[in-house]
Amino acid sequence: MTESIIVQLGKYDVPILQKQPDFEVDLLKSNILLFGSPQSGKTNLIRLIINILHKKMNVEDEQIFILDFGGALADYQTMPLVSAYFDNSNEEYVKRVFKILETKLKENTRALQGVGFAAKKEGQPRHITFFIDNFNSFLDEPRYQGYQEKFARLCRDGLSKGISVVVTASENKGMTSYINNLGQKIALNLSDDRYGEIFGGKVSSIGNIPGRGFANITMRLREKDRKGKYHEITGTYNINSPYEIHCSFAEDINKGDFRINLHKKFQYDADKKCFGKEVEKYKIFPQTFGVAEYYHQLEGEQDITDPQYEVAVGLDYVDFKPVVVNFKDSRFLAVYAKRGAGQDQLLDRIVTNLMEHDTRKLVLFDDGRGQLKMLKDKFPAATYISQYVARSELEKEKPKEPEPVVSAASAMMGGRTSAGGSFFSGQKAEPRFAKPPEISKPVIPQGSKLSPMQQLIKYIHEECVDVGNFASLLYTGKEYLSMLERNPNVPIGCLDTFRDPTVFVLHSKLVYSSVRENKQFLEYIMPILSDMAEERDYIFIFSDVRKMSDIEMNDKFNTLVHTAFVLDNIAEFVSEKGQKTIFGDLDVKMLKADYALCEKGDGYYYDVEADSLKKFKMIQEEDF
C-alpha cells in the first residue's frame, strides 16, 4: 500500500522560521506545474523527479509516461519504470498516451470502489506519473486541441485515482484553466512581474540564477533529527504562499552510483541490454517498417495460427499486437484507399500469403487501368480480366471426336465383323460410334466483344455456379447463348471436381457503377456466391471501392462485406464518403477525438460484426 510519494526537490528558504527545510512534494496530493525561462533548470527538475521515483518505487507500484515536446528527455525512454516515451513527431502517439491514461483512469476508478487512492489498503492499483515537457507546444499546436479537455480531466480527477501530473511551461498564457488543478507551482528564473502573475502576489527579486526561484508550500514542512527521522517544524508560516527555493541537481543516469544502484535494483542484463524488472513498455514504430522490423517488434510472439486463411498485415497502434485478417471467418473484404496510400502493398501481401497454397486459383478483375498487372506478373497462372475481348477468343476447345465402339466379336476378328449379322460373309462393317449429345450451338457474331464484366460473369458461370437464370435477365437470344456457351464435356459450376478454391480480387470501378450488368452482378450474382463462399472456399477482395449512387446496390454491397480497410484519415473519410458505407454508424466527432491524421503506412481495419476499429501500421515491402 502506497500512502504517500514524497519527492525531495531541494531546499526552501523560510526567513520567518530562520530555517531552510527540505522542499518536498507529495505526488499523491499535488500535481506539479513548473514555469521557467530557457536554461532555468526545468528539465533538470523533471529528471530529478524521475530519478527519485526510481529510487523509491518498484515496478509493482509505479508507472511513468512521458510526452517530450522539448526533446531533452530521450535518455529516459529505456528506464525501467518508464512505460511510454513519445515525442511530438507523430500525432498518433500523443493520442495514444491520452487513450491509455483514460483507460487507466477508468480501471482505477473501478478498482478503488469509491475510496481515495492513498486510503485504499487492499487492491490498490499501480500509481502513474504523467510528465509533459514544454506544455506550451502542446497548447499552441492546433492538432492537439482535442486533447486539452482530456488533459484537464486528468488534472482534475487523476490524483484521487492514482494518477499524478507534472508539466513544464515557459509561458503562463493559456494556463489559467489548469492552474487550480496543478496545486504545486514552481517558478524558476523569471521576472518579478511573472512571479506575481503565477503566485498572485508580489515576491522579492532574487536575480537570474539557474535552479533558483519560488514555490508555494503544499505540505507541512519537515526536518530531520540526528537519527535521520523526520519531524514537522513548529512555527508560523503560510501554507500555499510562495517561498524562495533552491533546486537540487539531478544525477546522471548513465554514470556513477546512480547507474550502479539502478542496475542492481532492476536486475540489468548486460548481454541482453535490458532490465530484468521493468514495467510494460509501449513501443513506437521505426522510420521504416518492413517485414524484419515487424517480426522484431513481435519479439517471438506468434502472429497467426491458421496460415491457410489468416494474413497479418501490420501492428495496431495501441497494443502493438498483430492486425490479422481471418478469411475463414470473413470471406468478403473491402479496401477503401486514397491514391498513394499503400493499397498495392496491402493487396500484394494479402494475395501472396493466400496463394502460398497451391490448390487455390486466382482471378484478377481490372477495369483497363492495369492496376492489378503487377499481381498478374507475379502469378502468371492467374485469370486476368482487364480489356474488352472478342467472343471468338473465349471459345472453349472443341470436344474430341468420340472413339468407335467395338463389339466383342469384332475384337475377336481383329476389328472385322459382318454387316447384317453374317459372321462369315467376309464383308467389313463400318464401326459404330457413341451418339454425341445434341448441342444447340449459337452463331457467334463476327467482331463482337465481351466487356470485362461480361467476361467475369462468364468465368463465374463456367467455373463456380450456374448463373444462367440471372444472366438471362441481362442478355437475350444469340448474344446470351454466345456469351454463356456450354462445353458439353464440362458441366457448368455444379460438380465438386470443378469447385476449386478461388481468390477473387475485384479492382474495378465498373463494379460500383449502376450500369445494368454491374447492378445485376452485385444484386443477384454476388449473393449466390456469398451463400456458397464458405462451402466452396471462395474469397472476395474488393479493392479501390468507390461510392455507389444506386441505393439498392449500396445496401447489397454493405451486407456482403464483413471486414474492411481504410487507407485514409478515418474521420474525413466517414464525413465525406462513408456515410452510406459500413462505416456510416461511426461518430465523426468521436473519430476526430480518438484518431490522429494518418502518417505514411497508416491505415484502419474494421471488423463489422465485432464493431471493432483499429488503427495500424502496415508492413511495407522493400520492392514498393
Pairing of strands 449-450, 389-390: antiparallel
Under a CB-based contact definition with an 8 Å cutoff, are residues 36 and 42 in contact? yes
Under a CB-based contact definition with an 8 Å cutoff, are residues 39 and 216 in contact? no
41 is in an annotated binding site: yes
Q: What would the grid cell of residue 235 be?
A: 512555527
Length of the chain measured in residues: 624
36 is in an annotated binding site: yes
29 is in an annotated binding site: no
Question: Long-range contact list for 345-348, CB < 8 A, 24+ apart?
Answer: 345/618, 345/619, 345/620, 345/621, 345/624, 346/313, 346/565, 346/567, 346/603, 346/618, 347/372, 347/375, 347/505, 347/507, 347/541, 347/543, 348/374, 348/375, 348/378, 348/621, 348/624
Q: Which helix (H) or strand (E) holds 384?
A: strand 383-385
Give dist(CA 147, CA 157) in Å, integer. Answer: 15
40 is in an annotated binding site: yes
Bridge partner list, 186:
34, 215
Bridge partner list, 135:
none
Under a CB-based contact definition with an 8 Å cutoff, are residues 533 and 541 in contact? no
Give dist(CA 379, CA 459) in Å, integer. Answer: 18
Q: At what angle do helices 145-157 and 91-112 cross, to 10 degrees?
A: 30
What are the backbone angles phi and psi of residue 611, rounded to the nearest 5°?
55, 45
Give dist(CA 68, CA 74) in Å, integer. Answer: 8
Q: From the annotation, which residues make up the binding site? A: 36-43
Q: From the annotation, which residues make up the binding site for ATP? A: 36-43
